[in-house]
Amino acid sequence: MAIPRFWREIGSRYNLIGTKCSNCGKVDFPPRAVCPDCGRKSIGKMERLQLAGKGTVVTYTVIHDAPAQFEMQKPYVMAIIEMDEGARLTAQLIDVKPEDVKIGLRVHSTFRKLGQEGEAGVIHYGYKFRPAVSN
């Protein structure tokens, strides 16, 4: 039962909390203690930053051989998304047909179930992305 392991990441998994290096401005997700570009100069200078949730698909795949937690959703789409703030992350794309996914697709974050520790265990939530809605 990995309760603390998941609980610890709630800020980033629910709310896309990352860090911004106040030395060079680079944004990282998830949060880092040290900027990969600035090294030691950035220690103590990493500021908490909430990503806005908007990004662009950089690459993707449709997964057919699924791990246990994703059995119900296969085939499902996974993508690497470049967030508008510059950081990239890996997430599932939902509310989209696999054939409609393209590199360059604009997406925004949603809140979904990632899995659970069995029928009697804790449920884990986090981000998944869907095509950006136009309003």
Partner 1 sequence: MRDVAVIGVGETEFGELWDRSFRDLGIEAGLKAIQDAKIASEEIDAVYIGNMSAGKFIDQEHVSALVADYAGLADMHLPTVRVEGGGACGAIALLQARLAIASGMYDIVVVGGAEKMTDVGDVQAAEILSSTADQEWESVFGATFAGLYAMMARRHMHEYGTTREQLASVAVKNHKNGALNPEAQFQKEITLDAVLNSPMVAEPLGLFDCAPLSDGAAAVVLCAADKARKFTDTPILFKGSGQASDFLALHDRRDLCTMDATVVAGKRALAEAKLEPKDIQVAEVHDNFTITEILAIEDLRFVEKGKGGPATLDGVTALNGKFSINTSGGLKARGQPVGATGVAQAVEIVKQLRNEAGKRQVVGARRGLTHTLGGTGATAVVHIFERGD
Partner 2 sequence: MNAGIVSYGGYIPRFRITPQMIGAVWGADGEAMGRGLNIKSKSVPGPDEDVITISVEAARACMAKVDIDPTEIGAIYVGSESHPYAVKPTATIVAEAIGSAPVMTAADFEFACKAGTAAVQATMGLTLSKMMKYGLAIGSDTSQGAPGDALEYSASAGGAAMLIGTDHVIAEIAHTVSYTTDTPDFWRREGQRYPSHGGRFTGEPAYFKHVLACANLLFKRAGSKPEDYDYAVFHQPNGKFPVRAAKQLEFKDVQIDTGLCVRDIGNTYSAAILVGLAAILDEADPGDRIFAVGYGSGAGSDGFDITVTDQIKKINRHATHTIKQQIADHVFVDYATYAKYRGKILLREA
Q: Give me the residues that bind partner 1 (CB under 8 A), please.
A: 5, 9, 30, 36, 58-70, 75-76, 78-81, 88-92, 98, 103, 114-115, 124, 126-128
Looking at residues 74 to 93 of the shown chain, list those that interact with partner 2 (rule: CB under 8 A).
none
DSSP 39: B
* Cα dist from 99 to 60, 61, 75, 76, 122, whole Å: 11, 11, 12, 11, 34
Build a one-symbol-per-residue string for 24-63: x at contacts with partner 2 by CB under 8 A, - elsewhere. Answer: --------------------------x-------------
Q: Write out 101-120 in H/E/C secondary structure.
A: CCCCCEEEEEEEEEEECCCC
Closest separation between CB of residue 7 and partner 1, Å? 12
Given the DSSP bridges, would you call strands 54-63 and 46-50 parallel, antiparallel or unpaired? unpaired
Closest separation between CB of residue 86 and partner 2, Å? 22
